[in-house]
Amino acid sequence: MTLLKYLRACAICHNYLPPCDWLCSFCWKCVEREYLYSEDCYRLEKQIPYLRLIDWHEDNHLLIQYLIQSLKGGGPEFIFKRFALEMFSRILPLGLWDKNTFPLFLPVPPKNPKDKEHAFSLAKALNFYFAGELTQVLQRKISSSFQKIKNKRERAKINIIKTRADFSSSKPIILVDDVLTTGSTAKACWRALNQPKNFFVFSLVWKKPKQGNRKLNFL
C-alpha cells in the first residue's frame, strides 16, 4: 500500500511522474505558494471569527478547484494531516485561547449522511495536532436542492439541528469545513449551538466571490 500511494498520477495536473505524493512536486509548490501567512489567516465577520489556509480567487481559480475536487469523498488521511499541520502552525501563534485549553472540533454535517465527508477528515486531522476532542453533534435537514446551485438568500435558510439537546461546552468550539463561501452554513451551525461565544470556524479554503474561469497557466 505504501508503494501504491506514490505510484499514481497527480490529482491536479494528472501527469504520471512518480513519486507522486497525491500531487506532483511541481503542483505541491504551486499550492504551497497560496498558503496565507499567520496574520492573514484570521478575519472577523458578524461576531464569528473565521480562519483559513488558502484564499480562492480569480488568479488561482482552477488550481484550487482541482485540488478541492480531488478531496471530494474523503481523500487520503495523510493529505488532510499535511494541510492540518500547515493550519496548526499558523493558528497556534495567534493565541486565540489559552494554551492549556483543548478545543472541541465539530465537522460541518454532510449533505448526505452516507457520504464520507472531507470536513470530517480535516477536523480529525486538526484534532490530532491540537490534541482536542472530536465530536459530531450537528445534523443537516435533507433538502431537495443542492447547496451549490442555491443563491445567497436560499443558502441563508440552511437548517442545522443538534443531535444532543443538552450539548454545551466551555471549551473553544471549532467548526470545520473544507470550503467557506457565504458563511451561511457556519452561521446555521452557530445558531443551532445556541450562538456560543467561544465559537470559531476553520476552513481549508475561503472562496472569494466573483470567480473567473482562467486557464491553468501554472502547468
**pLDDT tens digits, residue range 188-205?**
999 989 898 899 999 999
pLDDT value at residue 142 = 62
Residue whose C-alpha is closest to residue 41's, from 56, 29, 55: 55
Q: Which of 31-45, 141-155, 200-214 has the lowest mean pLDDT?
A: 141-155
**Structural domain spans, the chain:** 39-58+76-207
Q: What is the pLDDT of residues 76-133, one digit of tens each?
A: 788 999 999 999 999 999 999 888 888 999 999 887 666 667 889 999 999 999 999 9
CATH topology (fold) of 39-58+76-207: Rossmann fold (3.40.50)
What's the rounded mean pLDDT across residues 20-41?
92
**169-193: per-residue pLDDT in tens?**
788 999 999 999 888 889 999 998 9
Tell me, what's the pLDDT at 217?
43
Confidence of residue 219 (pLDDT cuts 50, 70, 90): very low
* Beta bridge pairs of residue 209: none
- Which positions ≥6 away from 127 have C-beta within 8 Å? 105, 133, 134
Query: Considering the entire predicted model, what is its pTM?
Result: 0.82
Distance from C-alpha of 210 to C-alpha of 130, rounded to nearest angstrom: 34
User: Regarding predicted confidence, which is higher, 135 or 144?
Assistant: 135
**Strand, helix or coil for residue 202:** strand
Nearest to 133 by CA among 103, 163, 88: 103
Instruction: Please compute the mean of the pLDDT values over residues 59-84 and round it to a whole number.
Output: 88
Select the more confidently predicted residue: 116 or 140: 140
Residue 211 has pLDDT above 90, yes or no: no
